[in-house]
A and B are shown apart, each in its own frame.
Chain A
Amino acid sequence: MILSLARASLVRHRTRTLLAVIGVAISAAMLLDMVMLASGMRVSFRSLLLSQGFQIRLAPRGTLPFDTDATIPGASSIIARLEARADVLAVSPVLGAQLHVERGGASVSAAALGTLAAVQGDYKVLTGRAPTGDGEAAVNDALLAAVGARIGDTLRVAAGFDPQLRGYTGQRTIRIVGRVHFTYLAAGERALALPLAVLQAMEGPSQADRVSLMMVRLRDGAAVEAARQAIDREIPEVSAISTASAIEQVEQRLSYFRQLAFILGTVSLAVGFLLVTTLVTVSVNERLGEIAVLRAIGVRRIRIVEQILIEGTVIMLGGAVAGLGLGLLTARYLNSILAAFPGLPEAIDFFLFQPRDAWVALGLLAACGILAGVYPAWHGASRPIAGTLREEAVA
């Protein structure tokens, strides 16, 4: 009977209830988005780092991978030392550079990664194959589109431009042998992969036997942190960064995102709370006479409170469920905007949906719905019966 009364009270003012549910839905959508934002980057970044199976990354001492133009000297010696370790399965060296690419009348710049095809973890071959020979390259769609090329075509590439000689340096003619997708590059960024030795040679003596980064894959069961510490200690040229510490460092850099998410999430929760409190208070104040009569005929105070709490909770949960869908839609839209953020890998999601997030948002909203009704419910149910009826009669 109390459930019937609660349902009927909500239905009695359909428009008001609907507007409240919509208000809560917007608030819930924002809350869900903020919960997703708070954990999305961390989770997707972690998943990105682990996707290629490398647990440790080595950057020039004191830097983060590709954070500066610094490179690691004596790469082949370091690789040999690493490969000699019992817990290391593979080492993938990477040299990053910026190249000029020409074909026909088109001339563009593109990111170039020099890798060892057999152990590389930077790209996935979509069609064709990975470059292994001296005059070979694999190219992504953005670069293919920019120069109007396809697999089998040749490109003129150069490592730099000498203004005194007014000519390109480190020029090569290469043939496209594969179409690839670069895992860590931003969407739309033009890029090509070359054999490591080719890119080192193109860059000249300054980059001989140098790499920007080494990715280390450990054997199954190896202790990652112990290996990281040992490498960091034994090889002074590098800073060894495990996936966990990389995530930690990224988290530190992106902590403002979490703070923003926390503040906006709290605000949206507070807005939802106040909205339901206001609505329930108005609803209770309209029904003070009814409540007094219910009390007079023997309905217990707790039953009145239950009824009002049910009303608040139904509004909050109704809004939360609608807000879930709305939140996912807005998250998708916002993700598409933020994905164009310069320098961020295409695979990074700002808003990553996880069922846990939905449950957290739903739980918070349900708790708010209950709490929002507590004061007006108790206030309404605790008013003196005779006095309230007298005031109603006078009114």
Chain B
Amino acid sequence: MTENGVLISARDLTRDYAMSGSVVHAIRGVSLDVRAGEYLAIVGPSGCGKSTLLNLLGAIDAPSSGIVMVGGKNITGLSDREATLFRLRTIGFVFQRFYLMPVLTATENVELPMSEAGLEKVARRQRARELLAYVGLAERGRHRPTELSGGEQQRVAIARALANRPALLLADEPTGELDAHTGAEVIGLFDRVNRDGTTLIVVTHDEDLARAARRVVHMRDGVIVDEQHR
């Protein structure tokens, strides 16, 4: 984090894709600051570049130009190894389709990032149990993803994202596959995660989820066109 409390600082980001012989400009000169502890929603029509921006902020994609600073560190020039380590330690990801490992139990899924970070088995098992309890799934740790409902799977995914105590949680359409009731549960959980100190950026079409955020950024055609603070 920088002195003025800014966790993320993106400047003049562009992201172009070559597609069928032409170039698609997914992001066109986006600049964005996110303060530590913020709860930010990025909204806009499909194809406006929301997810691409999220991927750039999370170092799972690299911009065509511009820079992204996270905690004062430029993450646009990182090697694959450095970017992987950065994601492991600093970022938590939540995806629309949960993407839990189907062959692992809920507890093992939550343990996965901790195992990669080198945490001892006893310690990571203990933390996984705590996280599953935190997301309301204390009794479901032994179940595999196929034995869980969509809402439960997403809560396991959130627990997995929080495993290594990331400074930043990035969620791409986290309620996109959920019904209204389970979507509301996830929204409530995100609110709690943010209140407990984790900076949260969600990309969403879900008005309820966007409404829960303290700041909403509107995108259209690869640029930020509006911003609201609550």
Contacts and interface: CB of A to CB of B under 8 A. Distances in A.
Interface of A: 1, 4-5, 8-9, 11-12, 289-290, 293-301, 303, 384-387, 389-390, 392-393
B102 A298 contact: no
B76 to A, nearest CB: 14
B88 A386 contact: no
29 contacts: A1-B115, A1-B116, A4-B108, A5-B101, A5-B104, A8-B103, A9-B103, A289-B99, A293-B93, A293-B99, A295-B84, A296-B58, A296-B60, A297-B92, A297-B93, A297-B112, A297-B113, A298-B84, A298-B87, A298-B91, A298-B117, A299-B88, A300-B85, A300-B116, A301-B84, A303-B116, A385-B61, A386-B55, A389-B60
A296 B97 CA distance: 14
Given A1-B112, A389-B60, 19 more contacts: A1-B111, A4-B104, A5-B103, A5-B104, A12-B103, A293-B99, A294-B101, A296-B58, A297-B87, A297-B92, A297-B116, A298-B88, A298-B117, A299-B116, A300-B81, A300-B85, A300-B116, A386-B52, A392-B97
B109 to A, nearest CB: 10
A299 B112 contact: yes
Nearest to A384: B61
Name, among A8, A386, A393, the residue most crowded by chain B CB atoms within 10 Å (CB to CB). Answer: A386
A-B pairs with lowest CB-CB distance, top 10: A298-B88, A8-B103, A386-B61, A1-B115, A293-B99, A386-B55, A385-B60, A298-B87, A296-B60, A386-B60
A295 B88 CA distance: 9
B199 interface: no
A9 B104 CA distance: 10
B9 interface: no
Nearest to B111: A1
Interface string B190-226: 0000000000000000000000000000000000000
Contacts of B97: 289, 392-393
Contacts of B60: 295-296, 385-386, 389
B89 interface: yes
Nearest to B15: A386
Contacts of B96: 393
A8 B104 contact: yes
Given A1-B108, A386-B52, A393-B96, A298 B113 contact: yes
Contact of B95 (A1, A303, A389): A389
B123 to A, nearest CB: 14
Contacts of B81: 300-301
Contacts of B129: none
B80 interface: yes
Nearest to B54: A386
Nearest to B87: A298
Nearest to A301: B80
Interface of B: 51-52, 55, 58, 60-61, 80-81, 84-85, 87-89, 91-93, 95-97, 99, 101-104, 108, 111-113, 115-117, 160-161, 164
Contacts of B116: 1, 297-300, 303
Nearest to A392: B97
A11 B102 CA distance: 12
A277 B60 CA distance: 28
A389 B97 CA distance: 10
Contacts of B103: 4-5, 8-9, 11-12
A6 B108 CA distance: 14
Contacts of A5: 101, 103-104
B93 A296 contact: yes
Contacts of B89: 298
A12 B146 CA distance: 13
Nearest to B103: A8
A103 to B, nearest CB: 76
Given A386-B60, A386-B61, A300 B52 contact: no
A314 to B, nearest CB: 14
A79 B88 CA distance: 87
A255 to B, nearest CB: 51
B108 A290 contact: no
A293 B85 contact: no
A310 to B, nearest CB: 14
A1 B107 CA distance: 12
A385 B172 CA distance: 14
Contacts of A384: 61
Instruction: Count chain A CB atoms within 10 A of each CB in B58, B89, B101 and give the residue with the most.
Output: B101
A98 to B, nearest CB: 72
A247 B146 CA distance: 65
B42 to A, nearest CB: 15
Contacts of A393: 96-97
A297 B111 CA distance: 12
A387 to B, nearest CB: 8
